[in-house]
A and B are shown apart, each in its own frame.
Chain A
């Protein structure tokens, strides 16, 4: 069990009547790459700003290394921030920017230079030490901002949408680089993002937020495979939501009636009863298509192909189930034959199947 680095205990933040953060409790472990993920306005940045000390909680408590922060001002907290717009000081060179934190900590002059150069080497920019921020590209500014924060060897590094200002290709490269850097320095990273793919590929654990509330906390696989409500399932990746009524349920699987006598399997949820109206959430890539019912292992769902779109790696099917539900399925194109990667056409009758634990039952 690793130590808890940052803890939010029942933290609420109100701006006037608006509740930006609502009773959030979360624990970030030492050395973890932790993402706060959610749409804009969900309260994730406010959480980060409260940890940094730029905002104070209306209620609740923030602890860093077990120590309550109370009203400790930002300059006395053992955290550093990489800002969304980087906020590099325009009147200082790259070197002076990186040295600033050390000067404020009254680090000896002789020690400042080697530490600044070490930090710049860490982000592979030692050759740009004498430049001014405005002479750098977006990616270089981003890395200077990282060096400026990391040179202080903070307990926790806070990153506020650090990649959002970069173009797609650079963003992908920086995702990898940032993750690699975090592993090397071993500092706890708390990363705010609205990009679900970014959160999934980089984080050890993710807290999904919406409207000020924590929706789910878990590692990327848990969040993706076992979303515990409709918001999480919808926000992370693509999901089909199919309404139905629980027919029966046991330890292995639940059967849900979708209408017109069609039944589909799903992973049983703890608190469901037969007769209850629920939503079945199933990811498009979990669904297999067969031309006839015999080939599936019992629980085949009949459907009509509305549309079939070849997109290279996959073929996407838009299917109509039980005359009312529209379901998207994605089938990987494993063969290279020219005529076999779109075996079903508009109007074809097919049978869908998915493993019971590939479909989640959502009650809320």
Chain B
């Protein structure tokens, strides 16, 4: 019986791994192909089944004058905007979430839950609804087509995620821990920074992960709110599309754009396996 169980377990894990890994393998092999190799039926092994070429990759780094799209600028723009916006969202989101979790607010019929819902409601509407307001807002501020403008917009989009995750996290941290800190001589600020914050790192990491993912994959707002001056990676990649879909360059671009997320995932996984995330609070 245990043998069968082990077999089923490993079978499921391997099956799932195949589903996860296969697209990557596919993309890697495709990125080294040329037009003939891609259209000439399914092939997987370089040199044996097709002749690898770096054409797909070089397009990404060549300047426009040589028929490339040069993603290096947009790439760093994307990293800068996503990480800055995520960091600010986590910082503000954690503070708001703590306040919402521990203090009682009341303004007429508006109470804590309503405020929390207000944050979340920012993500309930389809993004299209926000497009025109954001456009007008940024153009009034003179921040259209700028990094600062994008960061501002992303904070609006990402902070609700941070607030949502952190409110839930703080609600599960016994408030007696804060009280003990107060009794042990901390004023409310010290209690937050010396006791609550160090114990919130797991929650903040999870919230940060979500913010980075959602920020990184955004195409819509990056497309609408920028023109020529500042471009983000997803928008730039679309420029690859022409009359013939360049599958090889698209694959290369996909791999490049997913790389930062993989790095982030590995870093977070470190934290997870150290046990810092689990069991920090009973």
Q: Do A and B come from one complex?
A: no
- Name A residues whose Cβ lies closer than 8 Å to a Cβ of B: none
- B residues with CB within 8 A of A: none
